[in-house]
Structure 1
Amino acid sequence: MSTVEKFLPTKKYNTIAYVLMAVGLVATIALYISTHGATGSEEEVHRSHARFWASLLQNSVYFLLVVNAAMFFMCATTLAWGGWQIGFSRVTEAVSSAVPVIGVIAGIILLSIVFGDNHTIYHWTDTEHVKHDKILNFKKGFLNKGFYVTVTVLTIVFWSFLGWKMRQRSRSLDTNPPATVESKKKFIWDNTVMAALYLVVFALTIMSSLPWLWLMSIDAHWFSTMYSWYTFASTFVAGIALIALYVVFLKNNGLLPAVNQEHLHDLGKFMFAFSIFWTYLWFSQFMLIWYSNQPEETIYFVNRIGNSARQSPYSGIFWFMLIINFVAPILIFMSRDSKRNYTIVTFVAIIIIFGHWLDFYQMVFPAVSPDKVPSIIFDMGIAMFFVGLIMLLVARTLSKYPLTVKNHPFAKESVIHHT
């Protein structure tokens, strides 16, 4: 089988993608109509309007971080001089190619919320309220529109540009393979430097400031030093699951000849390990806050699981999310054979992507709609738009370039890889 095959999306594939996007657009319009036609007190109207923007925020940020996790995986393995992933690196590149498009969509949504006149999602955008709020006034050096906009725009630009540079370097091997040992060493070194630069940006954004601004500031009085790592773990394992889905899909279509069960096994181990890592962070954050029992910290979990004085409507989602993000992967992926089975890997990957979508749901909505759980059907419908969009963007990239990088200095390591 040729190693320069390209993926040509079928009519059925494109139809499914367009249908999902259409469903998402219909859900968005329906949600806008239902929320902007609300009547009642001023607070009720504001919360109703915010419910629409919260859904857009949750979905756009979640799927942006998921596709961006693919480039983190690519750069982390590059920095480690890994070779096993080269066989499916074009899949990783294709998933990461969705970052600029989804980044622009997410950026528009986030900036629309920040500069809108509804302060239900981000209380700190209300300057008059901040003046009379001791905690928010103390945080205004960080929580302000100027800093938020600067970090958001720069982040999306840097992610898009550095990701594009990494993909361009990989594609250059197709037409300009390194011919000598020295040129191979130079390619590996330059690639390592570029990957390291990306990881520095990633560390300064996802692993520190960005989740604080985009998500944690929705509950502006609350804070957690583990929040950024928690967010990273949630989206990274979902990103690996998305890569695994495309590897299985392409293998089922007779493509990716250099990829076998050994590679799938390692992807399964990543999903297994980072599901446990996510749970470790979840437990650590929860346990420390529960143990200290300080009202300014426990309020976050009271809104999500309730306590003896107050029942939370989100408690069912909170515990269900924990079950499918931890219990399901660890039980199903416990054995070696399960991580090599296409059907099981596909099933667990879908569970993980949906489970961490629910995780983001419970991050956002308890602060926006604390008294009742909004109809999640609308939010799942909007998620379908991003799923369809990712399908189109990934397919477009896969169809442009050979699926196997045959001239990479570490290509042989991927071919002979075994676990």
Structure 2
Amino acid sequence: MHHKFYLSLLLAVAVLFSSCTSDDSAPSIDYSIKSDDHLKILSQYDNGWIKEAKHIESEDLPIHEVTYHENGFIKSAKVYNFLDDRELYMEVRRDEQNRPLWSKYYTPEGAVWFETAYENGLVSEKIVYSELGTSIHTYTNGEITSIEFISTNGLDKSITSYDLETGTKNVKITKNSEVILEQEFLDQDDFGSGILTSNHAPKANPFNEPQNGYITIGTSFTHSPIWHFNANPKDDVIGYRKYADLHPPASKFAVQHAVNFEMYQSIIEQYPYTEDQVLILGYKENEGNAAIIDVSRDERLAIDAERLEDPDLFALKYGDQYVNKIHYGKNLIVVGALRNMPTHVTAIEQVNKIAEKRMNDILSGSNLVSDHEMEILDKVWFEVKLFSTFKNQRNGIVLESFNDYETAAQEFIDAEPEIIQYEYKKFELLVQ
């Protein structure tokens, strides 16, 4: 099932810019950070870097509000939707070591949609709210150990407990405080496993040992680092859970992915916005996929009959969608981000060119950036970080040299392919 990943693909980085040379006769360039029509600086540190600022559009409506630690890492950030009334839809807090403290995502009406708490930089709890109820996702050392769903009446509940050592899960369902289903499954999330999509709460499996067929794909995609206007990797990674008929709006982060995809959430919370642009190199590999096959029509009819008899009870036990296909492979993203950028357009262009060359140096082992250019780049905050679906790289690995990149890439290569996406179908379409 493992498709060979060639390091040379990631090393095929196009060098687009030649080295800049200094010109003593050229006028001096202003690298200071000043307020303008769209950036309002509220306070700065002694070195001129931003302490507190906000980005605005017309009529002083905010786009981003941010505070930085003195070392350039984000302390807090609020991100507003670009449309309608600029409603707040994302808020993060981070410490001086760039570890997450907590985050919240909001509905267009201003209510909290889901919130995440962290401990020692790892997720410890995630709570998802909806009209149907609340699901509480509990983690140990960053790994999911239980998900409890409590309906709005407070009496109907389900709790899914994961045993990380054995790879099994136990599902317990109560209705009106009475246990109506309790079952242990050999796989954590297998073919036919149900989920309540409104709360991302896993449920029981109504199928009787569904068979699956595996297809090897062996496809991949990579590119040289190119400029993007944000660090939202929804086009460079595969969403961990793909629900039927789910099409996240393009105008904002695909926050549906952040509920259950730690790598994706880590990236968008470290780079909730960009002051100018961000460099991204992406690699994704589809080893293969498997889908449910050979489920008899009698079994499908029986499941559908149970659903039609009591839809609410069925949803409590099995959710509204089930795992139909599982994709295996790997995802890798390298992000080169700039902060505390100068205001002058000439300085911005110069820094961007040097930053791209610096990222090429790190990824290919070239030596394009001169000492003078490094002095210029050191005037801003620039960081290159590698993220992947490999557990040890989900929160990102800082790359400061080609050796750093080689080491991280080799760890990624050596890691076994894993589940990169669960693809769901609606129970209501089980019989067609």
Which TM class, normalised by the smaller chain length? under 0.3
Largest Rg, 1 or 2: 2
- Bigger proportion of residues as strand: 2
- Bigger proportion of residues as helix: 1
| Higher RCO (CA-CA < 8 Å; seq separation 6+) | 1
